[in-house]
Amino acid sequence: MATPSLLFWRELRLSRMILRRMLQIVPLLFVISVISFALVKLSPGDPVKMFVTPNMHPEDVERIRRSLGLNLPIYEQYFRWLGQIVHGNLGYSLQNSQPVLGQILQRLPATIGLMGTALAATLIIAIPLGLVAAKYENTWIDRLLNMISYISISIPVFWFGILLIEFFSVKLNWLPSLGMQTIGENSFVDLAQHAILPVTTLTFQGCGAYYRYVRSNTLSEIRKSYVEFGHAKGLSIWKLLWSHILKNVMLPVITLLGMSLPTLISGAYITESVFSWPGLGLLSVDAIFSLDYPIIMAMTLFSGLMLILGNLFADMTYQFVDPRIRK
């Protein structure tokens, strides 16, 4: 049992770790922004040429380029952009002239809803299945789950999505296949109906990796002496799995989860594309194809921020799951 003074020092150490990480965010984001901006600007293509039509006079094209500040040297364009960011202005899309922040905020709920549900469903399904597969190692259950996990990892997402649409939307006509709501309807049930197929696609895709992590870690834990000791004390294997082994198995899963957090806002382009889900994945990839750098930069910064926070979350969660780390 820790004394109050020991607890105080642990809390202080945790607070200092969080503070240190928070202070690292600004320079990290700065470095990310410099690299991303350089990559966007050095990639082949010219955003102005994307909307040039033969009817446009060359001087009109140049005027548009000047008005967007694209005639300036790259470093000057960067500092202009940075100046806007510091003032909380993410700029305007080059394609549709709409404020970038507005577009991101408009699509954020759909992305978090889809990705969050899929991530939660993945964990809810993959973790128990990983434990079960380890418990029944080398039986038909284990082999069946392994086979499904291989399929989950290797199946192309777009193909699986199309397959689900073909079966559930075209053949059975049970579920809608496009968008996130029926036009004119605003109910939760309608939203859930639209979410079933994309969530299923993402969950199936994600389960394989998590399942394999949990299974292999459970197998290495199950052979450790504390499990044998638990057996000797008369604890059932299920009790051991849920109460003791799972905690140790969760460490690599937490790392994986921390790394997955950016997808909560960056979205899943292919799934969003197949199901016409209005997420940020589509917005980002469309921006990349049209060299719409204000949107690309904003999304890169948000994803970078989420990755840093995801790692911080993972480090903090370790301390709660494994008391040894706290020491």
Binders in 21-60 for another protein, by CB under 8 A = 43-47, 49-58, 60
Stretch that binds another protein, among 19-27, 82-90, 147-155, 164-172 (CB under 8 A): 164-172
Residue 275 makes contact with another protein by CB under 8 A = yes
Could you give the CA distance from residue 190 to residue 187 in angstroms, rounded to a whole number?
A: 5
Residue 286 makes contact with another protein by CB under 8 A = yes
Chain centroid offset of residue 279 CA: 12
Tell me which H or E stretch contains 238.
Answer: helix 237-240
Residues 127-146 that bind another protein (CB under 8 A): none
Alpha carbon separation from 190 to 37, 91, 172, 175, 195 (Å, rounded):
40, 34, 17, 10, 9
Residue found under tokens 């991303």: 36
Residue 273 makes contact with another protein by CB under 8 A = yes
Identity of the residue, 249 or 307, whose beta carbon is nearer to another protein in the bound complex: 249
Stretch that binds another protein, among 6-14, 138-146, 161-169, 317-325 (CB under 8 A): 161-169
> How many CA atoms lie less than 13 Å away from 116 in the CB half-sphere?
7
Contact predicate 111/264, CB 8 Å: yes
Could you give the CA distance from residue 317 to residue 255 in angstroms, rounded to a whole number?
A: 9
Residue among 17, 157, 175, 256 that touches another protein (CB under 8 A): 175
Axis-axis angle for helices 293-321, 4-42 (nearest 10): 160
Residues 66-85 that bind another protein (CB under 8 A): 67
Least separation in angstroms between residue 245's CB and another protein is: 15
Stretch that binds another protein, among 75-83, 103-111, 212-220, 226-234 (CB under 8 A): 103-111
Chain centroid offset of residue 78 CA: 27
Number of residues engaging another protein in binding (CB under 8 A): 71
Least separation in angstroms between residue 26's CB and another protein is: 30
Stretch that binds another protein, among 22-30, 71-79, 102-110, 309-317 (CB under 8 A): 102-110
Could you give the CA distance from residue 92 to residue 297 in angstroms, rounded to a whole number?
A: 11
Residue among 6, 23, 178, 259 that touches another protein (CB under 8 A): 178
Least separation in angstroms between residue 218's CB and another protein is: 16
Least separation in angstroms between residue 96's CB and another protein is: 4
Least separation in angstroms between residue 133's CB and another protein is: 17
Identity of the residue, 199 or 308, whose beta carbon is nearer to another protein in the bound complex: 199
Residues 188-207 that bind another protein (CB under 8 A): 189, 192-193, 195-196
Could you give the CA distance from residue 55 to residue 244 in angstroms, rounded to a whole number?
A: 71
Residue 216 makes contact with another protein by CB under 8 A = no
Residue found under tokens 């197998």: 219
Amino acid at 55: N
Nearest to 300 by CA among 314, 285, 313: 285
